Amino acid sequence: MKSPGLTERGGGRRNSFSLLELTDRVQKTTKIKIPIGSIADNRPSDIRIYITDNSYSYKETGWCPKKNLEHIIEDTHLWMDEYYDELRPIFA
């Protein structure tokens, strides 16, 4: 049972992508190769499928995503480059 006032909100199916697709797009943007492996068995905390739908948010607030995945990755990459020295301890 959900708590009153607590709702899940997401970007909806038009903004969906897999972790593999996200990794590929980040690698293309950053020009950094990220080694990816796989684990055959699901772990207890793994989420097999995660689906969100922003229609509730849109209906209640008029909000809908304005940026696509490429814009978000590029914005994040530029921001991380700009604040590289400040962020370095986090990624060390």
Torsion angle in degrees (nearest 10) through CA of 13, 19, 20, 21? 40
Considering the entire predicted model, what is its pTM? 0.63
With respect to residue 3, please indicate whether it lies within any of the assigned structural domains.
no
Residue 63 falls inside a structural domain: yes
Higher model confidence: residue 40 or residue 12?
40
Provide the 8-state DSSP code for 91: H
Task: Kindly state whether residue 43 falls inside one of the protein's structural domains.
Answer: no
pLDDT score of 36 more than 90: no
Residue 69 covered by a domain: yes
pLDDT mean over 54-78:
88
Look up the domain containing 76 and give its range: 13-35+49-91
Q: Which residue has the higher pLDDT, 65 or 90?
A: 90
pLDDT reported for residue 1? 46
